[in-house]
Structure 1
Amino acid sequence: MTGQEKGPAASARPQTLMLAFLGLHVLEHGSAVYSGSAIEVFARVGVSEDAVRSTLTRMVKRDLLARHRRGRKMYFGLTARSIDVLRDGHDRIWGAGAVNHDWDGTWTLVGFSLPEAWRSQRHDLRSRLMWAGFGPLQNGLWIAPGHPDVPAVVAGLGLEDHLNVLRGQAAEPTEASQLLHRAFDTGAIAERYRAFLGQWDRPNPLPSAPDDLARQLLLHTDWLQVVRSDPRLPAEHLPADWPAIRAERVFRTLSAQYDAPAKQLADAVLDTIPAEPASGQG
């Protein structure tokens, strides 16, 4: 890739790229992938063999992948946890959409107070809330537009007794637009979409990429990194030229363009075996 091609995926961690790859070429196939063929795919986007192997090992330790040995070859398949993660990412990309056009004026509020020593729990809770579309309104109080499923968001953290969850609407003298701009950095959100457009909204994006399999992987990695930090703010409180609208159109157009050739290349490159998929929860 050239020095001009510096989209979000150019600096993405190998695990982020790996999750995009698994979502595209493993999730719906019930298969496990030979490490050597994964290395071949990731070489297309400049990820070294050592980085791929260490990423696979870390993901096994985190219960995101399971090993399947066949003779001298090691294959990697999904776990229940990774299936949940990948399905959630799929829903964020293809289900919800990048802009909220049907907000009913309701905010969900999550208040929490955790012991000072619980730094890890606090980090995990904040990460979950951010992924679910919440923003920090003030110390210990996060808000999100609409009706996110808070019990599902915090499931497994063991923090239910430390949370206060409420739903309501803004009341005078506070306006909804004020809450939005206090809790969310709309300028930073818009800039991430503009960076995506700068990378992909042009003739022949990533001309130095070797093929459409590489472009597909980088496109989906870029897009997921953008939408995972976007709380889907109400369209009525955003500028008419909000860049997420055009960015989503560009993503969907390119994704459709790359899909068939990328699948053909993946079928030729990937060495897979059937692997009984673990059942995702929910």
Structure 2
Amino acid sequence: MINVSEQPVQPAPRSLIVTLYGAYGRFVAGPVPVAELIRLLAAVGVDAPSVRSSVSRLKRRGLLLPARTERGAAGYELSDQARELLEDGDRRIYADAPSADEGWVLAVFSVPESQRQKRHVLRSRLAGLGFGTAAPGVWIAPARLHEETRNTLRRLDLDVYVDFFRGEHLGFAPTAQAVARWWDLAALAEQHEAFLDRHAPVLRAWERRAGTPPEEAYRDYLLALDSWRHLPYTDPGLPARLLPANWPGTRSAAVFRALHARLHEAGALYAGVSVPARRL
């Protein structure tokens, strides 16, 4: 098991660029100039060479497209695929508390031995979407993840290998016990605790302040969002009644919501964009 709390706190530049576009860059009218990307990433400790190399990698993956601004400056805009990925991410990152009785979606797949690499990719993607393993070739997640999972597998041309089913768990083991078997709850809790260790002190510091300076708000919000946005994928938002008492995911979600409410709009001033209000 990877001990998240022992990993370096400094986020990867490529991840921060994706986070920047998700939080602010997609609301820019036209491409974001390269010079502006360098300015905005410098505020969170990323130097210019790292920005350029990370942008190149995102360009090769088809997520960023080179374009010119109205004034002729070189810049980058999101591809249609990237926009769809960010919209899928919004439904996770800014989700309400999960319903107690939404049911489950099952993904059952069979991949020919001659295409075993696709089997590996399929397993990796289902795990990355927050699915747990109910049995070999049978993956399970809260039912609300069905649409996003369908979109993801279609983008990867993996949908032909998968059947989806929706239903409820009827036993024999109590559902809370089954959930503890399908997901590694200890590892998920550790990731939430790591988020709290890094960002709960930031929230407490802001709660003691009267003003919200835009540059500081931008920096703290971008770093918090970059940490938080991965959690709703590893932890799919399981119903609270099925989780251990004092589940840290409840506290980490509350910290992120409070940081978002305090910092997001002020950070937009530093980023030079107008963002839609998103109340959590």
- TM class by shorter chain equals 0.7 to 0.9
Q: Indicate which of 95, 100, 103 corresponds to 1:102.
A: 100
CA offsets per residue over residues 235-257 of structure 1, 9 Å max, x none?
11113411121211111111222
Distance in 1 of aligned mates of 2:119 and 2:42: 37
The residue type paired with residue 187 of structure 1 is: A
Q: Which residue of 1 aligns with 2:271?
A: 266
Are the structure 2 counterparts of residues 160 and 199 from structure 1 closer, same or farther at C-alpha, using a change threshold of 3 Å?
Answer: closer
Residues 121-130 or 39-48, more deviating: 121-130
Higher helix share: 2
Describe the SS at the equivalent of 2:134: strand
Measure how far apart 1:11 and its partner are: 4.2
Whole-Å Cα distance in 1 between the matches of residues 160 and 258 of structure 2? 45
Matches within 5 A, 1:5-16: 10-16=9-15
Evaluate the alpha carbon distance shift between residue 265 and residue 247 of structure 1 in structure 2; reply closer, same or farther with a 3 A threshold: same
Unpaired runs of 5+ residues, structure 1, are: 1-5, 271-282
Moved more, 167-176 or 252-261: 167-176
Structure of greater relative contact order (alpha carbons < 8 Å, 6+ residues apart): 1
- Pick the aligned partner of 1:118 from 112, 115, 135: 115
Per-residue CA deviation, residues 159-190 of structure 1 (Å, 9 max, x unaligned), is 33422332333334233223211110111111
Farther off after superposition, 40-49 or 151-160: 151-160
Q: CA RMSD for the aligned pairs?
A: 2.5
Equivalents in 1 of 2:24, 2:160: separation in Å?
40
Name the structure 2 match of 1:180.
179
Partners of 1:8 and 1:263 in 2: CA distance: 29
CA distance in 1, matches of 2:75, 2:196: 36
Report deviation, 1:8: 7.4
- Tell which deviates more after alignment, 164-173 or 33-42: 164-173
CA-CA distance at 1:84 after TM superposition: 0.6
Is contact 2:98-2:237 (8 Å) kept? yes
CA deviation string 1:139-171 (max 9, x = no partner): 222111325235334213333342233233333
Q: Identity of counterpart residues, as a percentage? A: 31
Give yes or no for contact 2:100–2:241 (8 Å, CA) kept in 1.
no
Describe the superposition over 1:68-125 as per-residue Cα deviations: whole angstroms up to 9, x where unpaired: 135773111111111111111122122x23x423324x32221223234535423432
The answer for unaligned runs of 5 or more in structure 2 is 207-214, 274-280
What count of residue pairs does the alignment treat as equivalent?
Answer: 256
Matched, 1:36 2:35: yes
Tell me, in whole angstroms, the C-alpha distance in 2 between the residues paired with 1:181 and 1:73: 53
Cα deviation for residue 34 of structure 1 reads 1.0
Q: 2:261 aligns with which of 241, 256, 260?
A: 256
4+ residue runs over 4 A deviation:
6-9
> C-alpha distance in 1, partners of 2:265/2:98?
30
State the AA in 1 paired with 2:237: R
- The answer to whether the 8 Å contact 1:121/1:157 transfers is no
SS at match of 1:31: coil
Contact 1:7 1:222 in 2 (8 A): no
Contact 2:189 2:247 survives alignment (8 Å): yes
